[in-house]
Amino acid sequence: MSAKVWQEIKEILGERATTDVFERQFYQRDLAPVPEFLVDPMAKTLPDIIVRPCNAAELSDVVKIAVKEKIPITGRAGGSTVYFNSVCSQNGILVDFNGLTGLGKIDRSTNRVRVGAGTTWAELERVLNRQGLAVCSYPSSAPSATVGGWLAMMGYGLGSLKYGALVEQVAAAQVVLPDGSIQELTHSTPIPVSWLAGSEGTLGLITEVELQIRPIPEIQWHGMAVFQDAAAMQHFIEQAAALEEKPFNLHFSDPGCNALRYRLGMGSEPTSAVYTAAFDADGTKDEIAEAAEGFSNCLSAAGGEDWSQEAAEEWEHRFFSLLLKREGPSLLGAELWLPINKLALYLRDISSYENKEKLGLKTYGHVVSSSHAMVMTMFNADERNTIGYLQGLALVKKLHDIGARYGAAPYGIGLWNTSYLQRNYTKTQLAELKQRKKQLDPNDLMNPGKLYQAPLFLSPPFFSIGMDILAASRLFYRGRNLI
């Protein structure tokens, strides 16, 4: 990075730009504590410059400099993903979006709001609630995840079952495109706003979003169903996801997860050994009555037991899932986009794998559409023990492979899931995505190294052999804290 470039950026952003290595080091990782010797051959994660723009014009000026000088530029907001989605892979400029906040105009006639992309979902909900309004959906990382960040990911979470993916709630977005221009994208512009959804910051940097919102629900209702086996739980979930009056949130946990929750002071002994499905509804009194009746009908049909006395606690815990990390200290796992009609088969195979490997596997998930759930299966690890942690990473691939038997793909790509691209996209779909990238970012400057192509070490044959060897090494030696 030349002194001239730094000077130009400094003139735009003043104290909101830095080259100080003390500051830059904090942006080298996301939630995943991957060892340096694994990262270094594939990615240069230390940004050269951090910038914190407060508006689209500032960001546009920075992007124009990056284009002119051919400097990679990576966006980062909450930094709450785990696949290096918002970590640099080729140094360059890192854009910290957390200053692009604020609530703009609320149109009550259409229930739409204009919001800065760096606003967190929790803050947006708090501000809207004061005005009798609410968002339609939000991620389980709402306290840290931002509006723009979630749109740049796939945008599924709580509320998605009832209101659809985030992109369905977005009317328009202001974006700084890779040429530095500021454009307003809608569903009918030549570059549709839907291109940005799930693009992980590779096609443009989102600065504002116009979002569908709703009146704040009159009341909430929380139910919980317990099941002795996964097949009955799947039956319940399929029925509940198909209800006319859908729950706002439909969440499930396996006995491994429930046992851990119980050890940490949540839930109860009876629910610690069974499958549970939480059913959270909100809306008007009539809607709630209909939802509660739907819950009872689904429960009867699936042969479960009503355990709703624990449902409110489960709901209150929706932003605190990292509590499950307390027995770690680290967690490894696979987050999968799984068809719900295969859930029981997936959980059966996970249970068999657990019986064989004794990893202490635990699984939970959110049903986010009438056909799919986001499922997280995880196990304890210790990032301080290099061999054990590496072996753990190899076992994560085994979990992905179990999911793949049932049509599951990783949720989010970033860098680390590029090995599984063929599970997320058909050849045609991937070709279309690459065409968009070429059209908008011909110099591959926006978040390069992500989403479209695996680097050599993560290319499927290389990655598969490497992970299989690592997993097999457990026959001879098992790293500490990997049971």
Partner 1 sequence: MSTGSFYKTLADESLICGRCGNCRRDCPIYQELGWESASPRGKISLAREIFARGQGETVSPEFAERITQCTMCGACTKNCAARIDIQTFWQDLRGKMLEQNIAPKAYTAMIENLKSKKNITNFDNITRLDWAEDMDEVPENLAQESGAEVAYFVGCVSSFFPRAAQIPVAVVQLLQKAEVNFTTMGGEEWCCGFPLLAAGAKAEIQQFAKHNVKKMQDMGIEIIVTSCPSCYHTWNHVYPEIIGETLGFRVLHVSQYLVELLEQGKLVPKELTETVTYHDPCDLGRNSGVYGAPRQILQSIPGIDFVEIPTNSADSVCCGGGGNLQGADGALADAIAKKRILEAAQTGAGILVSACQQCEQMLEKAARAEKLPLQIMDVSELLWLAVED
Could you list the residues that contact partner 1 (CB under 8 A)? 16, 18, 22-23, 25-27, 29-31, 50, 52, 78-80, 96, 98-99, 120, 122-123, 126, 130, 141, 143-144, 264-266, 313, 316-317, 319-323, 325-326, 328-331, 382-384
Q: What's the closest the beta carbon of residue 324 comes to partner 1, in angstroms?
A: 9
Q: What's the closest the beta carbon of residue 48 comes to partner 1, in angstroms?
A: 16
Per-residue DSSP letters for 248-307?
SEEEEE-HHHHHHHHHTT-S-TGGGGSEEEEEEEEESHHHHHHHHHHHHHHHHHHT-EE-
Integer angstrom CA distances of residue 249 from 140, 175, 359, 463: 11, 30, 29, 36
Query: What length does the chain have?
Result: 483
CA distance 326 to 380: 9
Q: What's the closest the beta carbon of residue 293 comes to partner 1, in angstroms?
A: 28
Strands 275-283 and 330-339: unpaired
CA distance 77 to 98: 6
420-447 b/e (C-beta count within 10 Å ≥ 16 → b): bbebbbeeeebeebeeebeebbeebbbb
Q: What's the closest the beta carbon of residue 322 comes to partner 1, in angstroms?
A: 4
Q: What's the closest the beta carbon of residue 433 comes to partner 1, in angstroms?
A: 28
Q: Which is nearer to partner 1, 151 or 241 (CB)?
A: 151
Q: Which is nearer to partner 1, 320 or 457 (CB)?
A: 320
Looking at residue 13, what DSSP letter applies? Answer: H
Q: Which is nearer to partner 1, 4 or 326 (CB)?
A: 326
Pick from 172, 12, 213, 202: nearest CA to 89: 202
User: By the 8 A CB rule, do 310 and 251 touch?
Assistant: no
Q: What's the closest the beta carbon of residue 122 comes to partner 1, in angstroms?
A: 6
| Order of all β-strands in the sheet with 275-283 | 305-306, 219-227, 275-283, 249-253, 362-367, 372-381, 330-339, 409-410
Q: Which is nearer to partner 1, 106 or 171 (CB)?
A: 106
Q: What's the closest the beta carbon of residue 18 comes to partner 1, in angstroms?
A: 8
Q: What's the closest the beta carbon of residue 20 comes to partner 1, in angstroms?
A: 8
Q: Which is nearer to partner 1, 108 or 326 (CB)?
A: 326
- Do you find a cis peptide bond into 329, omega within 30 degrees of 0? yes
Q: What's the closest the beta carbon of residue 473 comes to partner 1, in angstroms?
A: 23
Q: Which is nearer to partner 1, 96 or 208 (CB)?
A: 96
Q: What's the closest the beta carbon of residue 94 comes to partner 1, in angstroms?
A: 10
Q: Which is nearer to partner 1, 294 or 412 (CB)?
A: 412
Q: Which is nearer to partner 1, 122 or 289 (CB)?
A: 122
The label of the residue with tokens 């051959």 reads 41
The label of the residue with tokens 């997993």 reads 471
Pick from 179, 175, 178: nearest CA to 209: 175
CA distance 193 to 187: 6
Residue 401: partners with Cβ closer than 8 Å, 6 or more residues away: none
Q: Which is nearer to partner 1, 316 or 468 (CB)?
A: 316
Residue 248: partners with Cβ closer than 8 Å, 6 or more residues away: 158, 159, 161, 162, 217, 220, 280, 281, 282, 283
Q: Which is nearer to partner 1, 122 or 430 (CB)?
A: 122
